[in-house]
Homo-oligomer: A and B are copies of this chain.
Amino acid sequence: MKHRIVVVGAGFAGLQLVQDLRGLDCQITLIDQRNHHLFQPLLYQVATTLLSTSEIAWPIRRVLRERKEVTTLLSTVEGVDRPAREVVLRGGQRIGYDTLVLATGARHAYFGKDQWEADAPGLKTLEDATTIRRRLLLAFERAELAADETGRQAHLTFAVIGAGPTGVELVGIIAELAHRILPQEFRHIDTRKARVMLIEAGPRILPAFSETQSDYAKSALEGRGVEVHTGTPVTDVSAKGIVLGDQPIAARTVIWAAGVQASRAKDWLGAEADRAGRVMVTPTLTLPDDPQIFVLGDTAHVESDGKPVPGVAPAAKQQGSHAARTIRARLLDRPEPGPFRYRHMGNLATIGRNAAVIEYGSFKLRGWLAWWVWGIAHIYFLIGARSRLMVALSWLWIFLSGQNSARLITQKETLKDG
Contact = CB atoms under 8 A, between A and B. Distances in A.
Interface of A: 34-36, 52-55, 57, 59, 61-62, 64-66, 68, 70-76, 90-91, 93, 126-127, 130, 137-138, 141, 144-145, 147, 182, 184-188, 386, 389-390, 393-394, 397, 401, 403, 405-412, 415, 418
Contacts of A409: 34-36, 74
A62 B386 contact: no
When all copies of this chain in the complex are counted, the total is 2
A295 B407 CA distance: 29
19 contacts: A35-B137, A35-B141, A35-B408, A36-B408, A54-B408, A61-B186, A62-B403, A64-B185, A68-B187, A72-B144, A74-B409, A75-B145, A76-B415, A91-B415, A93-B145, A93-B147, A127-B410, A386-B397, A390-B394
Contact of A61 (B54, B185, B411, B412): B185
Contacts of A407: 35-36, 59, 62
Nearest to A64: B185
Given A407-B59, A408-B35, A91 B393 contact: no
B66 A184 contact: yes
A389 B66 CA distance: 31
A191 to B, nearest CB: 11
A346 to B, nearest CB: 30
Contacts of A184: 65-66
Given A35-B407, A68-B187, A75-B415, 18 more contacts: A35-B409, A36-B408, A52-B52, A52-B53, A53-B53, A57-B408, A59-B408, A62-B185, A62-B403, A64-B185, A65-B184, A66-B184, A72-B144, A72-B185, A74-B409, A93-B145, A127-B411, A411-B411
A144 B73 contact: yes
A39 B415 CA distance: 24
Which A-B residue pairs are the 10 nearest by beta carbons? Answer: A61-B185, A52-B54, A74-B141, A71-B187, A54-B406, A59-B407, A65-B185, A35-B409, A65-B184, A52-B52
